[in-house]
Chain A
């Protein structure tokens, strides 16, 4: 249960002279929510892009204990990584806007369906096995639409859904790939407080029911503090702290990073928390 799921060792990512991620090491546990926080430009999204094969790390080893045993992610082609059980969402939502919500979730099961359709050949002739596989895929899509409360809007174009529902749909789409690790890049951005609270509940539920690990980038500190099992704090690409929410909340280094040079040791707890919640702005 408490096995490591993802081990990041000495991850460094340089863009020309800019070091976006600097010698970062951490371990994300199975069935745990691991949050990555830090001010704007700290390198959080870059970490995700390295994990999911969009960037090739300059240095580092990324071991993922995936569906077929351990793999070194830095050596895999980007589009192969999801097969090992990593799914992600994007900071700026990337849905297939002119396809329906349901279609978005069916596309997420592409590789499985492709095999079932005999790489299209059998599917063309309406082979029974493929039709069964497609029905199962639609069933899975329906399940996730239902859990996200999107069932009635299944046949809407994804692009015409309200913003909050688009965020949910993107999570549902990631879940339809049946991942072992779900990477969420600021899922609460743009949500109102009520939606954020629902989202927090949902993530905990996904962790416990689906029994998967979640890697969470988030600026909303109240949510991070409430649901994370482990928090990693980045600043200028470097890890400046790591620990449970309680440890992070009171860590002077973290507070300093978030508030810049301002002296804050004397601030009362509530004020400090509020400032931290404003987080990225600092």
Chain B
């Protein structure tokens, strides 16, 4: 019965119900019109020292028409592709191919990443952007534990990023700890924050969970903003020590000992630190990847996925849902904390500005776009989300518009993420043996 209901209206003649599509597009255009009239229809202009309203009906018309045509186009594309991809939960041949050969793609990508600074491409700007990409890759992989594996929708992940960043900044400021000493502390503190968030939301799922975690993210940011004595409020913390290469600083001269360039007898270049930071985050990200791939095949990882599928069945099998969820929150948060520490040492300055909701949303978008649970997908999505706005720089204010359009496009073409194909954690038969499952 349910299949009839989902397939029904679109199943006619393989596709396109024009009247229906026109009606829907008209409705969307009407809503857009109502929104555009106040938003784009008027402009305040200064006129002879007074404010006056300028009417811009053409903008309203253009916007409304764009929505109408766009809506129609999306419906048309959907109809042409058949209704069923989402309904059947199908992954698509490409996603399958990527996931099945994930090991090779992963190795190739890692190799490319290691060589990047030495390729002709590896100028300062590219390495810098690549570093940002890798931060988001690492955050995406960390959040993937909570959202992709355990199925707990977390909209406040940036809180743990902030805890990690401030942990390092404050421990450096007060106790003079270096990056490497502070890193585990930051991870542990972020994990504790994860558990603290976990307790009150143990019974929540889906939308409710998302709202509470969103609130938690904001609470942390507001605390950072207002706890002047400790966090220096909106002014932030500056002068955070930069990382050292086994004690060697990246400076021209150092009052306390040798610098990196002196030690290796090479000419000082400010590029050294940029490249070092790049390798640092690359290694941190690869450790995260190793950890997630590994833990997915351990009992706790399987229990996370089982919990995502059916919590009641888990209980009936003797799995403690409380502990399982809290471990997911804690470990996910821990990697957020690591990434936060790195962020602090890279910037040398942090303030609550860097930890707003939009960051959480971006990280979540990376996980969802990538295909929940897919490591390669997340890396790909991070690349898209960081690099796309960079590429769009020439378009100036249209940049975010293009970005939004690309997001909509991905969600239309791949509603379950770029690479939504789940590779089993264990197989009984080799690939191609045993009975072939229907796809």
Chain A positions near chain B (C-beta within 8 angstroms): 52-54, 78-83, 87-88, 90, 94-100, 102-103, 106-108, 110-111, 113-114, 117, 120, 123-124, 134, 138, 141-142, 145, 151-157, 160, 173, 177
Inter-subunit contact A154/B437 (CB<8 Å): no
Residues in A whose Cβ lies below 8 Å from that of B306: 96, 99, 107, 110
Size of interface on B: residues with Cβ below 8 Å to A: 34
CA distance A160 to B439 in the complex (A): 9
Looking at the complex, which one of A123, A142, A151 makes contact with B298 (CB distance below 8 Å)? A123
Point out the residue from B305, B309, B319, B424 that lies within 8 Å of A102, measured CB to CB. Answer: B424
Q: Does the CB pair A153–B437 fall under 8 Å?
A: yes
Instruction: Please tell me which one of the listed residues B300, B309, B320, B434 contacts residue A96 in the complex, with CB atoms under 8 A apart.
Output: B309
Looking at the complex, which one of B300, B310, B318 makes contact with A95 (CB distance below 8 Å)?
B310
* A154 and B316 contacting across the interface, CB-CB below 8 Å: no
- The reply to whether the CB of B101 lies closer than 8 angstroms to some CB of chain A is no
- Which residues of the other chain, A, contact B82 by a CB distance below 8 angstroms? none
Q: Are B305 and A99 in contact (CB under 8 A)?
A: yes
B178 CB to closest chain A CB (Å) equals 26
The interface residues of chain A lying within 8 Å CB-to-CB of B314 are 79, 107
Q: Which chain B residues have a beta carbon within 8 Å of chain A's beta carbons?
A: 291, 294-295, 298-300, 302-303, 305-306, 309-310, 312-321, 327, 422, 424-429, 434-435, 437-438
Tell whether A152 pairs with B313 under 8 Å between CB atoms, given A79-B319, A99-B306, A120-B299: no
Contacts of A134 in B (CB 8 A): 426
CB distance from A110 to the nearest CB of B (A): 5
On chain A, the residues within 8 Å of B327 by CB distance are: 120
Q: In the complex, which residue of chain B has the Cβ closest to the Cβ of A102?
A: B428
Give B327's nearest chain A residue, CB to CB: A120
Set of chain A residues within 8 Å of B318, measured between Cβ atoms: 79-83, 110-111, 177
Known interface pairs A111-B318, A152-B434; 7 further A-B residue pairs with C-beta atoms within 8 A, sorted by A's residue number = A99-B305, A102-B428, A110-B306, A110-B319, A117-B298, A120-B295, A124-B298
Which 6 residue pairs are nearest across A and B when measured between Cβ atoms?
A82-B318, A96-B309, A154-B428, A94-B313, A113-B299, A156-B437
Q: What residues of chain B lie closer than 8 Å to A157, measured between beta carbons?
A: 437
A156 to chain B, nearest CB (A): 4
Give Cα distance in the complex from A114 to B309, angstroms: 19
**Distance between B54 CB and nearest chain A CB, rounded to angstroms:** 55
- Whole-angstrom distance from the CB of B52 to the nearest CB of chain A? 60
- CB-nearest residue of chain B relative to A52? B316
Cβ distance A28 to chain B, nearest Cβ, rounded Å: 18
- Chain B residue nearest to A53 (CB atoms) is B315
Chain B's closest residue to A111 (CB) is B318
B422 touching A98 by the CB < 8 A rule?
A: yes
Q: Is A54 touching B312 in the complex (CB atoms < 8 A)?
A: yes
Chain A min CB distance to B165 (Å): 26
Instruction: Please give the distance in Å from A233's CB to the nearest CB on chain B.
Output: 26
B426 touches A103 (CB 8 A): yes
How many angstroms between the C-alpha atoms of A51 and B291 in the bound complex? 39
Contact A110 B299 (CB under 8 A): yes
Complex Cα spacing A132 to B426, Å: 14
The complex places the Cα of A192 from the Cα of B62 at a distance, in Å, of: 61
Q: Contact: A153 with B312, CB < 8 Å?
A: no
Chain A residue contacts of B310, Cβ below 8 A: 94-97
In the assembled complex, which residues on chain B have CB atoms less than 8 Å from the CB atom of A151?
428, 434
Partner of B424, one of A88, A97, A99, A152: A99
Q: What's the nearest-Cβ distance from chain B to residue A38, in Å?
A: 22
Q: Which of A52, A106, A111 contacts B426 (CB 8 A)?
A: A106
User: Measured between alpha carbons, how far is A49 from B302 in the docked complex, in Å?
Assistant: 25
Once the chains bind, are B316 and A103 in contact (CB under 8 Å)?
no
- Interchain Cβ contacts under 8 Å between A and B, 21 examples: A54-B312, A79-B319, A83-B318, A96-B309, A98-B305, A100-B424, A102-B424, A102-B427, A103-B426, A110-B317, A113-B299, A117-B298, A120-B327, A138-B428, A152-B429, A153-B437, A154-B428, A154-B429, A155-B429, A156-B435, A160-B438
The residue on A at minimum CB distance from B301 is A120
